[in-house]
Amino acid sequence: QVQLVESGGGLVQAGGSLRLSCAASGRTFSSSAMGWFRRTPGKEREFVAAISSSGGNTYYRDSVKGRFTISRDNAKNTVYLQMNSLKPEDTAVYYCAADLYSHSISTISGAYDYWGQGTQVTVSS
């Protein structure tokens, strides 16, 4: 069993920054690809960013490229999402997810085995 706990969400003005963290329990973290997804009311959950188990590969949705950075610290069992130049359309609940024992990265939510509870990010205009 893996538990994921997100933190770092909040209210920020457009153009501001936030850093989300996701702390994972268990011994599988360093063998797992990790992803960040987000959901807004009335919309499907959408892929934001993902990182391979080693941290050597990353992938982003087009709308966040150049603004968001995903990273991980396997010694701390934590994955991060640094969000800069935030826009009102980035407002959502952000979830981290773990794809256990996967060394590749996926943009598909169904590929992920465990999910956190989510953290709210609100960007005001």
pLDDT score, position 41:
86
Which strand (E) or helix (H) includes residue 60? strand 58-60
Q: What is the pLDDT along the chain (125 residues), one digit of tens a residue?
A: 889 999 999 999 999 999 999 999 988 898 999 999 999 988 999 999 999 999 999 999 999 999 999 999 999 999 999 999 999 999 999 999 999 988 789 999 999 999 999 999 999 99
pLDDT score, position 40:
94
Start-to-end C-alpha separation, the chain: 40
* Residues sharing a CB contact under 8 Å with residue 123, sequence separation 6 or more, in sequence order: 11, 12, 13, 14, 16, 86, 87, 88, 89, 90, 91
